[in-house]
Structure 1
Amino acid sequence: MRKTTVPAQAPTMQAQFVDVTPALAEKWLRQNTHNRNIREKAVLAYARDMEAGNWAENGEAIKFAADGTLLDGQHRLNAVALAGVTVRMLVITGLENATQETMDAGSKRRTADAFGLRGETNASVLSSITKRVWMWDQGDYGFNGASPTTAEAAALLGQRPDLRRSTDIAVRTHQSFRCLPQSIVGTAHHLFTRIDRNATVWFFQRLADGAELPAGHPILTLRTRAVSEAADHRKTPAGRQMAYLIRTWNAVREGRSLARILQDADGPMPMPK
């Protein structure tokens, strides 16, 4: 008679919703013994959404192995502890340790994807402009810091629906003049509109077509600079391109010519006037 081998019983998976307090999050993090490195920007972004009450209960779970090891959720738990708030989360236990290799393997949904699902026109450009305006309002004038979460970007768009108009202008300008990124053009349009709506209309019409501008006009100088950098395939930082637009705008507002546009790498960002 052949001997039959009885397979070991597989772990029993269970799922439940739990109100995760900061103390409970810290306790569970002590079971985080085998995981990837923490991304601090993600923790800070999650914490901001949790503090603001924008954290969505979307079915994504905190996951534990049958032996108690935390497999997935370290960034969310760190955010709960940092924010100091209680967040209701789905918790799954009883998984096999090997399943950790398959977690977070999909493509992350971006703000542009969320805007597209809402039916926004030019969702990718709108997302980029909204993010840059949010960063500018946080005092990140060089666009080097943390980006807003999808919830923060959506909230800003709700507060400032004219960001859609700035997106339209950025897309139209790009059709005629492709040497400046749409995200920077749209951000500048939004900021300049806050100062003088009528002057902003004329400024971006001339940026797009360069028509009827005398030699030495700031907009012609900007166009020449942007064309030169594009032809040389230079990777110009977004903050420097923003400075170019602001220096041009200020010169136009002050009625002076502009022979060159200079912006030191470490120089302060000019403010639009």
Structure 2
Amino acid sequence: MTNSNPKITTEMIGPAEAKEILEHHNAQNRAFKRKSINQYTRAMRQGEWTFIGDPIRFDRGGELLDGQNRLAAVIESGIPQTFVVIRNLEPDSQRYMDSGVKRSPADQLKIEGVAHPNEVAQIAALVMHWKGNDLPGMNIKYSTFEIVEFVEANTNAVEAAATHARALYHATRASKGTSGAVYFMAAEAAGAETASEFFGLLTSGAGLDNGSPVLLLRNKLIYWASTKARSRERAEILYFYVRCWNGWRKNEKLERLQLPRDSRGVVTMGDLRMRG
């Protein structure tokens, strides 16, 4: 084997070496992906970064072809990591990298035997953003591992949320991911029995009088699903769920739903805290 042949090693790369690579050997990569860097950094700091053999790759001239976001996370976390390192690749091999389909949270949940994995993954991810105060922007990029771990830690709650979300979907065509997240947060705030009562009323519409926040929300969900309003922002719909839940918990009468405005009259996201 000559020096021109690809060379594969396993190396520990620390912050100083990662910085040197990115500053002096990274002239032909894509823009950094901030969400990915944050995700990797979080995993490294929490001790959840697992060695799986994904390589850091260089071409024959020593230029980095693949791995810049992982190296950036090493710098930001301050924690050295072990990587497979491949050197002496052809420069044009970069075009073939990252072209495969990554395993999604739903894929992994299906492998692990979780029923309705797509719904469960959507609900879990939205709850994680909600609990992480990452709405409406959803700027945190949660990994497949983090979402699957959340589902495993909250199996009964997520499965109950998915069950109620499917029932509501059949009645109103409301998004299962969104309504499931609302059920999860409602059950956490006031208990599963109270959350189930609210969703039972929302699904059936039985015995609801005019002015009922639940009836108002139910009618809105049906309207949004039947018109172009279905494309409205998820965060906006979440606010209306929370507004009607809180109104129902206070025995309040509601005649209409609208987003709050600040002192300048600008529409704001509103408070997503659910009343216990």
TM-score (norm 2): 0.90
Match of residue 45 from structure 1? 39
Give 2:143's aligned residue.
Answer: 149
Residue in 1 aligned with 2:86? 92
Distance between the aligned counterparts of 2:166 and 2:21, measured in 1? Answer: 47
Please state whether the residue corresponding to 2:273 is helix, strand or coil. coil
Asked whether 1:81 is paired with 2:83, we answer: no
Query: 1:94-152, CA deviations, whole angstroms, 9 ceiling, x for partnerless residues?
Result: 11111011111112322222222222111111111111111111112425322322222
The match for 1:4 is: none
- Residue matched to 2:264: none
Structure 1 range deviating more: 124-133 or 157-166: 157-166
CA distance in 2, matches of 1:246, 1:227: 17
What letter is aligned with 1:203?
Answer: F
Name the counterpart of 2:263: none
Considering only CA atoms, is the larger Rg found in Structure 1 or Structure 2? 1
CA contact (8 A) 2:172 2:222 kept: no
How far apart, in 1, do the equivalents of 2:66 and 2:202 lie? 49
2:136·2:269 contact (CA, 8 Å) conserved in 1?
Answer: no
Residue 134 in structure 1 maps to residue 124 in structure 2: no
Structure 2 CA distance for aligned equivalents of residues 147 and 209 of structure 1: 36
1: CA distance between counterparts of 2:52 and 2:104?
Answer: 15
Q: Does 1:256 align with 2:249?
A: no
One of 200, 205, 223 as aligned partner of 2:218: 223
Q: Tell me the equivalent position of 2:239.
A: 243
Letter in 1 for 2:14: T
Which stretch has the larger CA shift, 76-85 or 152-161?
152-161
CA distance in 2, matches of 1:52, 1:245: 33
**Are 1:56 and 2:58 an aligned pair?**
no
Q: Residues 39-77 of structure 1: CA distance to partner in whole angstroms, max 9, x if unpaired?
A: 111111111111112122222111111211111111111
Partner SS for 1:173: helix
Of 207-216 and 35-44, more deviation after overlay is shown by 207-216
Aligned match of 1:114? 108
1:36 matches 2:38: no
- The answer to whether the aligner puts 1:268 opposite 2:270 as a matched pair is yes
Distance of 1:146 and 1:140 partners within structure 2: 7
86-95 vs 262-271, which deviates more? 262-271
Identify if the C-alpha distance between structure 1 residues 143 and 175 changes in structure 2 by more than 3 Å, giving closer, same or farther: farther
Shift of 1:10: 9.2
| Contact kept? 1:177, 1:209, Cα under 8 Å | no
Give yes or no for contact 2:35–2:139 (8 Å, CA) kept in 1: no
CA distance in 2, matches of 1:75, 1:207: 45
**Which residue of structure 1 aligns with residue 16 of structure 2?**
23
Deviation string 1:143-196 (CA, Å, 9 cap, x unpaired) is 532232222222322332222221222122212221x21111111101111123
Which letter maps to 2:38? L
Unaligned 5+ runs, structure 1? 1-8
Aligned pair 1:174/2:176, yes or no? no
Instruction: Give me the CA root mean square deviation.
Output: 1.7
SS in structure 1 opposite 2:228? coil
Runs of 4+ with deviation above 6 angstroms: none
CA deviation string 1:194-239 (max 9, x = no partner): 1232211111112112122122221111111222223331221111
Distance 1:143 1:175 in 2: 29
TM value normalised by structure 1:
0.91
Instruction: Please tell me the residue identity of whatever aligns with 2:70.
Output: R
The answer to whether the Cα contact below 8 Å between 1:43 and 1:76 also exists between their aligned partners in 2 is: yes
**Whole-Å Cα distance in 1 between the matches of residues 182 and 97 of structure 2?**
40
- Does the CA contact (< 8 Å) of 1:41 and 1:146 recur in 2? yes
- Counterpart for residue 68 of structure 1: 62
Q: Secondary structure at the match of 1:43?
A: helix
Quote the Cα distance in structure 2 between the aligned partners of 1:186 and 1:231.
Answer: 20
How many pairs were matched up? 264
- Report if the CA contact (8 A) 1:63-1:71 is conserved: yes
